[in-house]
A and B are shown apart, each in its own frame.
Chain A
């Protein structure tokens, strides 16, 4: 399996996938994911015609045919969008299905004449990298390198075209020309990409790596590098499987691997991933429970004018909370010396008292804000303050205090407890 030819095929496919995904990343960011899919399908008639004319053995005829069909499809979509009342998605579907239908018709005709073998159809539709001839591979690998170099060269132009096209035009960049170059690169990326995944699954190669990469980074450069890395990894996997197992197409394996990477990214990415979101939610929940407990003890001290200790049974009686949850909250408070466990129960430490005072203060400040600024009735404000007391930051607190002019009493005439300094 590790003979030199296979290594060459492997490196070639890796390059093909990486280059298409880098171009596709810009389509993804432009919100034009479906245009890539349409172009991929629309290439089929061009590719098959080139297959017939070039006798199936000329990669340059193939590239030329693909370019012709791809550009026609792209400008066809633009024309339909601008000059008819059709919506964008309709225009895309119309062009995609018409071209693809025509391509399939041509393919069937080719097969009937015995001109192309079964492998031809499979290769175009689903990709069969292992079946690619070495001389073809060199041509496509060169094209892939050209694509990567072009993206590097046009980085600033593509970045601005994607982010803010009007601004690009306003500063006098030749935006029509940049867009045309991008379209040509997209068509070439698809031409290169269908060698490994085929027409049907091409959209996945353009879009999935970018979508996965975006969830890991907010830097465009890094996102392009990651997209390429994800696509290359998947391509290697697909090629190895396709070469090891008989009658296995490459494309579906590459796309499945990409899907796996995207899935993992969505689950585990920092900030926006499912896991870190869940962690955040858990953290917020614990914070709320801790602060409510400190508030409870502070309130009792305020009423009785002395330090109060409560056993966990007493607390459960008041808060109607599950004992397990309470023990967890108590443990975390004890660990940070906000509570101390005495013989007669849990009591606030000085640190805990300050924290409890803060929560009570925020609660009362917010109640006052609601009545003063939003004109809410005093008997409607408690539930909202119960939530906001855990959210309000010191900056917002300072704003509220300033806006209300250092108030002394809340709407229920309870004192607002400030820190003495």
Chain B
């Protein structure tokens, strides 16, 4: 298996309470991958840690066998739609152009080529006619498509999307699914955080089943079994959640983050 993302012994805390315990898995290239689990199971935390937005207490993640900073331009991130204020003064094109921002063009003007790429991305999500529309006037589904267009404008190889199907209309859902298939055909890898079991089986090739700890990861035929789903959705492990509260209350430090150095790889 050619690997896209590797997650090794990852433990991450939020407000000093562990939300991911020792999670360890590898993801293939060129697949549509679902990170599935109930609410509060650490899915978003996992994505944010892979994107370097949260620091793990221990463990590490790699993309194409390298740390994120080496391959950042090949990775694109679509945050949850609700995580931003859509009353912000900007039109659709402004937001999609943000996908062209880079560390090395921060002080430079937007180029014609940037505009061309952003226009192409808007066309792919069927929003080109809305390019001049204020983002505050968009429907939920349109907002989601704007975020995906911004991500496409990054022209990456791996796309990490946080709950892109939440609160969108049927037309947007179809548009996103078609887009995902096109991306897969181009050899891109798409990782999607998703909480809805009903649709997960239909959307994804590969599934990571998460509930604070890793329940299973693999091709969906292997993971989508009654036993494993029961394990993921059948409530949290009492001992684990009690221990988490204890760690948070006593502010007990977990293992050091440079744990990676002591471990032989593989």
The answer to whether A164 touches B98 (Cβ under 8 A) is yes
The answer to whether A160 touches B101 (Cβ under 8 A) is yes
Of A171, A173, A214, most B-chain CB atoms within 10 Å: A171
CA distance A318 to B74 in the complex (A): 71
Chain A residues whose C-beta falls within 8 Å of the C-beta of B53 in the assembled complex = 166, 169-170
Is the C-beta of B154 less than 8 angstroms from some C-beta in chain A?
A: yes
Residue of A nearest to B94 (CB): A220
Shortest A220–chain B CB gap in Å is 5
Chain B residues whose C-beta falls within 8 Å of the C-beta of A171 in the assembled complex = 72, 77, 99, 101-103, 154
The answer to whether A164 touches B91 (Cβ under 8 A) is no
The answer to whether A218 touches B103 (Cβ under 8 A) is no
Q: A156-B101, A171-B101, A171-B154 known; A29 and B88 CB under 8 Å?
A: yes
Of A162, A166, A214, A220, most B-chain CB atoms within 10 Å: A166
In-complex Cβ contact of A174 among B83, B85, B103, B150 (8 A): B103
Chain A residues whose C-beta falls within 8 Å of the C-beta of B67 in the assembled complex = none
Mask of A194-219 contacts with B, CB within 8 angstroms, 1/0: 00000000000000000000100111
Q: A160-B98, A160-B101, A163-B88 known; A173 and B106 CB under 8 Å?
A: yes
Q: A164-B79, A164-B98, A166-B53 known; A172 and B88 CB under 8 Å?
A: no
Q: Knowing that A159-B94, A220-B90 are A-B contacts, what are 19 other residue pairs whose CB atoms are under 8 Å apart, sorted by A's residue number?
A: A29-B88, A156-B101, A160-B98, A163-B88, A164-B98, A166-B77, A167-B77, A167-B98, A168-B101, A169-B53, A170-B53, A171-B77, A172-B103, A173-B106, A214-B89, A218-B90, A218-B91, A219-B90, A220-B88
In-complex Cβ contact of A156 among B51, B106, B150 (8 A): B106
Is the C-beta of B186 less than 8 angstroms from some C-beta in chain A?
A: no
Using a CB-CB cutoff of 8 Å, which residues 138-169 of chain A contact chain B?
153-154, 156-157, 159-160, 162-164, 166-169
The answer to whether B79 touches A167 (Cβ under 8 A) is yes
CA distance A213 to B154 in the complex (A): 32
Residue of B nearest to A169 (CB): B53
Shortest A108–chain B CB gap in Å is 42
Mask of A1-37 contacts with B, CB within 8 angstroms, 1/0: 0000000000000000000000000000101000000
In-complex Cβ contact of A173 among B99, B103, B150 (8 A): B103
Q: A166-B79, A170-B52 known; A219 and B89 CB under 8 Å?
A: yes
Is the C-beta of A223 less than 8 angstroms from some C-beta in chain B?
A: yes
The answer to whether A164 touches B103 (Cβ under 8 A) is no
Of B48, B88, B154, most A-chain CB atoms within 10 Å: B88
CA distance A170 to B150 in the complex (A): 13
Chain A residues whose C-beta falls within 8 Å of the C-beta of B98 in the assembled complex = 159-160, 163-164, 167
Is the C-beta of B126 less than 8 angstroms from some C-beta in chain A?
A: no
CA distance A156 to B136 in the complex (A): 20
Shortest B113–chain A CB gap in Å is 16
CA distance A156 to B105 in the complex (A): 9
CA distance A157 to B85 in the complex (A): 17
Q: 8 closest pairs, A vs B, by CB?
A: A170-B77, A172-B72, A218-B134, A220-B89, A170-B51, A218-B89, A164-B84, A163-B88
Instruction: Say which size band chain B's interface belongs to.
Output: 20 to 34
- List 27 A-B residue pairs with CB atoms under 8 Å apart, sorted by A's residue number: A29-B89, A31-B85, A154-B107, A156-B106, A156-B107, A159-B90, A159-B94, A159-B98, A160-B98, A160-B101, A163-B88, A164-B98, A166-B53, A166-B79, A166-B83, A167-B150, A168-B101, A170-B79, A171-B72, A171-B102, A172-B69, A172-B73, A172-B102, A173-B101, A214-B89, A218-B89, A218-B90
CA distance A31 to B98 in the complex (A): 21
CA distance A169 to B69 in the complex (A): 11
Chain B residues whose C-beta falls within 8 Å of the C-beta of A218 in the assembled complex = 89-91, 134, 136
The answer to whether A163 touches B106 (Cβ under 8 A) is no
Using a CB-CB cutoff of 8 Å, which residues 337-364 of chain A contact chain B?
none
CA distance A364 to B79 in the complex (A): 43
Chain A residues whose C-beta falls within 8 Å of the C-beta of B88 in the assembled complex = 29, 162-163, 220
Chain A residues whose C-beta falls within 8 Å of the C-beta of B136 in the assembled complex = 218
Residue of A nearest to B133 (CB): A218
The answer to whether A164 touches B102 (Cβ under 8 A) is no
Shortest A221–chain B CB gap in Å is 9
Shortest A25–chain B CB gap in Å is 9
Shortest A163–chain B CB gap in Å is 5
Of A162, A163, A217, A223, most B-chain CB atoms within 10 Å: A163
CA distance A217 to B94 in the complex (A): 15
CA distance A42 to B90 in the complex (A): 33
Residue of B nearest to A167 (CB): B79
Residue of A nearest to B150 (CB): A167
In-complex Cβ contact of B91 among A160, A163, A214, A219 (8 A): A219
Using a CB-CB cutoff of 8 Å, which residues 158-176 of chain B contact chain A?
none
Of A29, A153, A164, most B-chain CB atoms within 10 Å: A164
Shortest A211–chain B CB gap in Å is 12
Chain A residues whose C-beta falls within 8 Å of the C-beta of B52 in the assembled complex = 169-170
Shortest B192–chain A CB gap in Å is 16
CA distance A264 to B116 in the complex (A): 40
Using a CB-CB cutoff of 8 Å, which residues 95-141 of chain A contact chain B?
none
Shortest A81–chain B CB gap in Å is 12
Chain A residues whose C-beta falls within 8 Å of the C-beta of B154 in the assembled complex = 171
Residue of B nearest to A214 (CB): B89
Of A154, A157, A168, A170, most B-chain CB atoms within 10 Å: A170
Chain A residues whose C-beta falls within 8 Å of the C-beta of B102 in the assembled complex = 171-172
Residue of B nearest to A224 (CB): B89
CA distance A214 to B136 in the complex (A): 13
Mask of A213-240 contacts with B, CB within 8 angstroms, 1/0: 0100111100100000000000000000
Shortest B205–chain A CB gap in Å is 24
CA distance A43 to B31 in the complex (A): 55
The answer to whether B89 touches A217 (Cβ under 8 A) is yes
CA distance A159 to B107 in the complex (A): 12
CA distance A97 to B264 in the complex (A): 54
